[in-house]
Structure 1
Amino acid sequence: MNRVEIQDVGSYLLAIASFLESSKRLWYRGQSKDNTEYKLLPSSFRNSTDEDYEMDFYMKFKAKAVPFLEKLPNSFWDWLFIMQHHGVPTRLLDWSEDALIALMFAIEYRSTTDPIEFDAVVWCLDPLELNRNFNFQSTRNNIPNIESEDITSIFGPESPPGVPINHPIAVIGSLNSERIIAQKGVFTLFPKPPSVRALEETNNADRFLSKIVIKKSAIDTIKKQLYNIGINESSLYPGLDAIGKIIIREHKENLLSAGGV
């Protein structure tokens, strides 16, 4: 698997450019820790890949969320995206089409001096190659919509048991939240248990996955460089919460530059 270590935004963009020489398209996922325990798995499988909790989460969320929704979702998949948006475990794993947003995600809550010993990482996925590798719509040069009948028949809530598929596929879905739009969100959809493995552990993962390691010693430098080119909290979380975070950060920076605490 391709692996590159970077120390600044410039070397990060050079790494992206080198990966794009052999891929028509890349998706990106930033993670704060580069270690073997922090795998490319959706939240519903973080504790176990043998149990299917999704329908239980779905039924409970659907029952309780209706009073708070201005518009009811049209499908199971719409519900799943809303669940994902609000932190309820699903079989979806988030990616971004924007490399700089993924880099910001990787280091958002990290600093050079924090006690965490691990570097951060941005995973780079070739979504077309992922789908081709498993012969899913292998003749297409576009990413399928999650609402399509062929995806629902294999991955949907009523798909028959015993379907011989044990890998995720790359999909696009409803842009039903400001956050998905701002983050240029796209997704990999994982199958139901029991045949679930982390994406980096699937067969021939080196064909569609690469990783860029952000050295811990460079995190503060990279974060400042991203701020200077306009990649900040509002790039990740549109709305008042991001405005609050930006104001607090700028206040702390002003104190430090003035010699305060």
Structure 2
Amino acid sequence: MTTDRVAESWTEAQELLYAESWNEELNRYRPGYAYRGVPDVDADLRTSLQRLGDDEYGATVERDLLRNFTKYAQTEAGAADGSVWHRLALAQHHGLPTRLLDWTFSPLVALHFATAELDYLDRDGVVWLVDLAAVEERLPPELGDPLTSADVYTADALAERAETLADFEGLFDDHEPAPLFFEPPATDDRIVNQYALFSVFPDPTARLDEWLADNPGCHRRVVIDGAAKMEIRDKLDAANVNERLLFPGLDGLADWLARYYTPIDAADAEPPE
């Protein structure tokens, strides 16, 4: 059974991304999904640690990477403080290869990342939607209650259940592996503005896309038709969902301006029928 729906316009993208967002218990429209936007529909969900070499290599150097990051980050105020989950989130945030994968609570933020790379305008993009409640049901009993209304942990709450990566892995000794989602600490405006959260597996070699394929009912995907990318991209800019907002500071401002003023081939900018 396919989990893909295709959005061929800005309007269709909104309808598909916000579908099934009604929460009867709250009597509010509150989507219960984690979203991840990718500019190429054929891209997988490997982590940065898995992309460091082959899948097995990353696992062999993971502890060394985090240990050295913690050691050399001592010069940055607070960088080496807090739990392993705080340090992992901070390391991921600054580009260190980790077993974490970036997600967002915001459909529009995910849509930004699916459409921001102009080199991929001729390809379909995709937004992954993971049902947080369905994933939470597949966690071991010791992790089955994150104590939040969003079916995700905070970094502090996760540290209370597992102080180390070894502790976290041990919780799955008698249970099938499953991803856990947690919110990073709000260490800067970028994390806040991106409405960020992370997924993490007990096995650093495990692929989330493969797990989702083996666990139907936990996700769906909205494919962004390549022919609709420019309409969606320009309307996201009009809504102020862009690099200037999501990467506060001069670097984000420069990236936004460079993309905004890049000339686009007429064939890529035709209005929808």
Taking a change above 3 Å as real, the CA distance of residues 181 and 159 of structure 1, as seen in their structure-2 partners, is: closer
Give 1:97-112 correspondences, 5 Å limit.
97-110=105-118
CA distance in 2, matches of 1:92, 1:137: 19
Greater RCO structure (CA 8 Å; 6+ sep): 1
Letter in 2 for 1:85: H
Look up the match of 1:259. Answer: none
2:215 to 202, 205, 215: 205
| Selected match of 2:54 from 48, 71, 74 | 48
Identity across matched positions, percent:
24
Unmatched segments (≥5 aa) in structure 1 = 257-261
Q: TM-score, normalised by structure 1?
A: 0.82
Shift of 1:64: 2.1
Change in 2 beyond 3 A, CA 1:107/1:70: same
Deviation at 1:206, TM superposition (A): 2.6
- 1:32 and 1:119 in contact (8 A); partners too: yes
User: Counterparts of 1:174 and 1:119 in 2: how far apart (Å)?
Assistant: 33
Deviation, 1:163, is 2.1
1:203 deviates by 6.5
The answer as to 2:140 corresponding to 1:132 is no
The C-alpha deviation readout for 1:49-79, integer Å capped at 9, x for no partner, is 4334321110121222222x12242222211
1:4 aligns with 2:14: no
Task: Give the TM-score taking structure 2 as reference length.
Answer: 0.78
Q: Distance in 2 between matches of 1:123 and 1:89?
A: 21
The count of aligned residue pairs is 247
Partner of 2:82: 74
Structure 1 stretches of 4+ with a deviation exceeding 6 A read none
The alignment's C-alpha RMSD in Å is 2.9
> For structure 1, which segment, 144-153 or 91-100, has the greater mean C-alpha deviation from structure 2 after superposition?
144-153
C-alpha separation between the residues in 2 aligned to 1:217 and 1:24? 27
> Which residues in structure 2 correspond to 1:76-225 (within 5 Å)?
76-110=84-118, 114=122, 118-135=123-140, 136-137=143-144, 141=149, 142-148=151-157, 149=159, 151-152=161-162, 156-158=165-167, 163-164=173-174, 165-193=176-204, 196-202=206-212, 204-225=214-235
